[in-house]
Structure 1
């Protein structure tokens, strides 16, 4: 199965027993549809928790805002909560990750904002 989405927060590495590591992250998948008989387009966002067991070195590239294409399989975690009700969550068990667009560095965003603020404060030199 293949899904494409943006990472919603920086990935993290968790150590599990027997010296194994897993990279955990979440992505947002955007979709839209037009209800029958309507001209308005409805936008929906689905958040999917993902796990990657093959290499923890990839975590340095999985930053918030990165657009990724993932290959793998869907798993369902079902459990009984403290409220004695059944709960479930989807997890995408990733076997391959392709980075489509890297996240913009924080210093690049700050520099762009500073440049915009500077130009807004400068008076207009144009004679018209």
Structure 2
């Protein structure tokens, strides 16, 4: 299965066992539809919790706003809550992540200025 969406907050890494780590993140998937008999388009956003078990090092690239294409399968976690009721949550178990657009840099951190090359109009100043 394949889904595409934007990461809604920076990914987090959790150590599960001695040598196992999982990267957890959520994405927002935008969609739209036109109700029958209406000329107005309705926009909806679906939030999907995701987990990635292959490499915890990838978490550094999964920042808020990053557009990702995910491949994997849907899993369901079922549990009995404190209210003695059954609860469930869907999780997308990601097997492959393709980063389509990286998140923009934080505007509060200024980007380093590019180095300027000095150009001389004097032909005797050439390095050869």
Global fold match (TM > 0.5): yes
**Counterpart for residue 5 of structure 1:** 5
2:41 pairs with 1:41? yes
Map 1:69-88; keep pairs closer than 5 Å. Answer: 69-88=69-88
Specify the structure having the higher radius of gyration (Cα).
2
Q: Distance in 1 between matches of 2:37 and 2:79?
A: 39
* Corresponding pairs, count: 110
Map 1:1-128; keep pairs closer than 5 Å. Answer: 1-106=1-106, 109-110=107-108
Indicate the structure with greater helix content: 1
Q: Distance in 1 between matches of 2:60 and 2:109?
A: 22
CA offsets per residue over residues 47-85 of structure 1, 9 Å max, x none?
A: 111000000110110000000000000001111211222
Deviation at 1:111, TM superposition (A): 7.2
Q: Where in structure 1 do 4 or more consecutive aligned residues deviate above 6 Å?
A: none
Q: Distance in 2 between matches of 1:17 and 1:110?
A: 37
**RMSD of aligned residue pairs (Cα, Å):** 1.4
TM-score, scaled to structure 2: 0.82
Q: Distance in 2 between matches of 1:10 and 1:4?
A: 16
